Amino acid sequence: MSTSTSLASVTGSPRDDREITIGKLRRIYDLYRTSLLNRLYSCHRLAVYRKWNKIVEVLLAVGTCSALGGLAVFKTGTGATVWAVIAAVAVLCNILKPILQLANTTVL
């Protein structure tokens, strides 16, 4: 038995080694692609949470501002109804804010 024959039987054929290498590279590529997609997904979710957090903060600021409620526009029939809706939404946001914890989810 020659040396080249004994090495081929121990290590396998070059074609088998190439297929194993290709399989490993595909696995690495799949893991890399998955990690990049996970990053994109997490960044998108973070942007959505930040947007909703900003909306809630603005609603709370507008709804709790008594100076805005004192404007003449909000003393008319339609204005009073609009102000009541704004105040109700602000109260709901104030109640739900600690439960939803949007501020805690906007941090990576």
Q: What pLDDT shows up at residue 99?
A: 82
Judge whether 34 lies within some domain. yes
pLDDT of 23: 95
How far apart are alpha carbons 60 and 87 in whole angstroms? 9
The answer to the question of residue 2 being in a domain is no
- Residue 73 domain-assigned (yes or no): yes
Q: What is the pLDDT of residue 36?
A: 97
> What 3-state class would DSSP assign to 108?
coil
**DSSP assignment, residue 76?**
S
Question: Containing domain of residue 66, as a range?
Answer: 13-105
Is residue 83's pLDDT more than 50? yes
Residue with tokens 């054929």: 13
Return the structure tokens found at 86.
């704004």
Q: What is the pLDDT of residues 12-62, one digit of tens each?
A: 677 889 999 999 999 999 999 999 999 999 999 989 988 988 888 888 887
Burial class of residue 56 (count of CB atoms within 10 Å of its CB; 0-12, 13-18, 19+): buried
3 occurs within a structural domain: no
Q: Is residue 8 part of a domain?
A: no
**Integer CA distances (angstroms), 53 to 22, 24, 28, in order:** 46, 43, 37
Kindly state whether residue 5 falls inside one of the protein's structural domains.
Answer: no
In a domain, 74, yes or no: yes
Please choose, from the candidates 66, 61, 53, the residue with its C-alpha nearest in 3D space to the C-alpha of residue 90: 61
pLDDT for 84 equals 83
Q: What span, in angstroms and rounded, lies between the C-alpha atoms of 67 and 56?
A: 19
| More confident position, 56 or 106 | 56
**1 inside domain:** no
pLDDT at 12: 64
pLDDT digits (tens, 9 = 90+) for 73-82: 777 888 888 8
Question: How many domains does the chain divide into?
Answer: 1
DSSP-derived 3-state class of residue 65 = coil
